Every structure is written in C-alpha cells, then in structure tokens.
Amino acid sequence: MIIGIPKEIKTDEFRVGMTPSGVLELIKAGHNVLIEQNAGVGSGFEDRLYSDAGAIILNTADDIYAGADMILKVKEPIEVEYSRLREGQILFTYLHLAADKALTEVLCAKKITALAYETLRLGRRLPLLEPMSEIAGRMATLFGAVHLGRYNGGSGQLLGGAVGVERNHVVVLGAGVAGKSAADAAAGLGAKVTMLDINLERLTYLRDVMAPNVSMLYSTHDTIVNSIKDADLIVGTVLVAGAKAPKLITRDMLSLMKKGSVLVDVSIDQGGCFETSHATTHSHPTFDVDGIVHYCVANMPGMYPRTSTIALTNATLSYALKIASTPLNVLLKDEIYLGALNTYAGDVTNEAVAIAHGMTYKAVV
C-alpha cells in the first residue's frame, strides 16, 4: 500500500504522523511511504532521516493526497484539506467527529474509510488515546498552575503553596488516563486534590495507588457543585468515546467559584465539558468568563511535539501496519477496527457521531 504522511497545518501543531523509525517499519513490511517536505521538522525529524528510512519526500500536500491509498495524520483534516481527500481513501488519525459536522459530511460525501485513533478500543482501553491523554493531563496541571499567576489573570496563588500557607485545591473531573495524570502532577506539587468519576471500580483502584493528598468522590451534580466552590484549579477530562463531552459545569455554576480560579478543559476536542468552553490555541490559550480563566487548547500535546510524536508512533504503528496489510473486507470483521471506523462507503458508522449530528447511523455488516 502507498501511505501518505502530510505536514500538519492546524494552528500551532508541530507533531507528525509517524517517526522515521516507524516509517522504516512500514517500508520493511513492503509498503511505500510518501511524506511531505519538512513534515517532521517541528518534531525534530529532518527530511534526511525519512529518506534514509526509505520514504519518498514530496514537495506539497497535494502530491501526498493524490498519490496515497492511506493518509496517516495526527489531527483531523481542516477545511483547506477537504478538497485534497480522494474518494475511497483510508484516513487514520484523530478525528473527534462528534464536534465537527462539516468534516463528517465531507468524509461521507467522499466515501472515506475514516478510522479514528480515539475510538479504537482494546477491551476497555483506548490505547491510541492514552499516550496523548497522559501528556495532556500533565500539561493541564502545569499550565493551570501557570495561569493561576496574577499576570495571567489568575488569583495569584502558587499551586502547592508554601510553608505556613494553606494548600491550593485542585479538582479533577474524570479519573481516566488524563485525569490520573493531572492528579498525579497536582499531588506532586503539594496541592490538595479531589478526583470525581462515576466509575466506582476505577475510583477504588486509584484510592489505593494515588498519593495520600488525593481523595476520591463519586461524581454527581451535588458533589461537583460542592467541590468547585473552593477550587483553585479545575481540570475537566471526561470522555464518552466518540461522543460529545457532557457539560459538567454550566455558566451559572461559575458564580459559585472563586474569582481568578482556572478551568482547564482537556475534553475540548470532543466539544468541551464546560458550557463556557470554546477551542483556543497555544498562541492565545486563555479567555475570561465572569472572572474565571479558561484554558481550552484543542491540541495540548502539540506543545511538546518531540515527546508526543514518539509516544503516538509507539501506540499507532502496529495498527497502521495491520490496516495497510489487510484487505478492508477482512479488516472490518475485526471488532477492534470496527470500533475505530467512523465513516465508510458514504455512511456514518459510529453511532455516537450520528447522534451528535442528527445523521443516519449504519452498522457495517
């Protein structure tokens, strides 16, 4: 198969779909790899490393899309890339279609076989989401702490405090990979941390492995309301795979919070879990609503592209090899790849995406 890796062009995105090492594995498996000139530079991978691995360097994204059977990316195509997609192509990337009706319609119109990293399941895990969730969770605490700084519009409190000063309170909504990562970072800085989730089994496990300054609560409207009243930093990491994130904090609830506190919405790719959230960029990461600082960067791991690209390749490579080496009629009999499939032959094949946009869902049989 001919696999194309275009340069990522979403604002402030410096990751690339595959490392040179990953490209070498694809080529050793008998595939041809086309990569756009300078696609890996933002992650510290020069063109020479890809050509040494056996990839063909092409000058433009148009050349990549025109020549490839499968497009391997990091982020979902943006509007300027829609016309480059070729009917019948395979697209393997993060898609987050529940928050993007326009892209969903384009993928259907072009009969793209769209496989999303974030909906590929392995048992109860989402293995292609996990590495980016881990990075985003740590970043949520670190950048939340930075934006508590007075010069960034925050309350002026140092996360973790100091000797003789009361510790800050960090609330983490969601106890998955991102939530645990955020809570670990906050606990390590010395904050008082409260995690909320509806999965009691997960909360029980985390109670036994987390630091003693981390407590667990079952998530209800009342426990959220009571927790945010004295919170300095709130990190939202809730995820319903493939679907829009539920709005756990409404605009009215902001009035309950302390002025200068910070909301970090890690769920923003799926529409955000705060009613007042809207996507921001690394260049302009925050905005203020009613005295509450919102940090809602839609590609948080893009801040650290070297680490993120290597971690992502480690997770996606084996699946990319399988997709490239297996006829679709065989591949789509495997529940793992059916779970990743979001559009196929002109239809929406992920029920949560169809519900989000009021579109017709069609199962692949």
For the annotated catalytic residues, the residue numbers are 96, 269
Asked if 178 and 237 count as a contact pair (C-beta separation under 8 A), the reply is yes
Answer whether 217's CB lies under 8 Å from 223's CB.
Answer: yes
83 CB neighbour count, 10 Å cutoff? 12
To 5 degrees, how large is the angle CA 69–CA 72–CA 77? 100
The angle that helices 177-188 and 130-147 make with each other, rounded to 10 degrees, is 40
Residues paired with residue 56 on neighbouring β-strands, in sequence order: 34
CA distance 223 to 226: 5
